[in-house]
Amino acid sequence: MRRTGLRVGIWVLAGAIVTCFWVLFALIAGPGHFDGHWTVVAITIPASLLWPTRPVSWHTVMFLNAAIYGLIGLAVEPLIRLRRPLLAKPRPASFHQSS
């Protein structure tokens, strides 16, 4: 359970980092360079789809995006955990036998 919580925390952190990346991209590139990137922004920042016509502060979007990524992590991590035993190699038998 502890590892799953850590992994979900990594998902949350990834959501915040993705938002920070796009904020920095917008600050450096300017508003005219988003023409071909809106689809990628909508996929990587699902919180941007909540209010497409209303301006929202970047830290609100970062918080919402981190929460959405956390929910995605909560959904994906149990599936990874179910699949892992199928992919794991069997451990070799111990050479030490207790008498």
Domain residue ranges in the chain: 2-84
| pLDDT of res. 32 | 75
Angle between helices 2-29 and 58-87 (to 10 degrees): 140
* Confidence band of 91 (pLDDT split at 50, 70, 90): low
Task: Give dist(CA 53, CA 26) in Å, integer.
Answer: 17
pLDDT tens-place string over residues 13-66: 999 999 999 889 888 888 777 677 778 888 898 888 888 788 888 889 899 999
Give, in order, the Cα–Cα distances in Å from 51 to each of 44, 47, 54, 70.
15, 8, 5, 20
Q: Taking 70 as the threshold, does the pLDDT of residue 86 lie above it?
A: no
Q: Look up residue 35 and give its two tokens.
A: 């023409």
Q: Please give the single-letter amino acid code of residue 3.
A: R
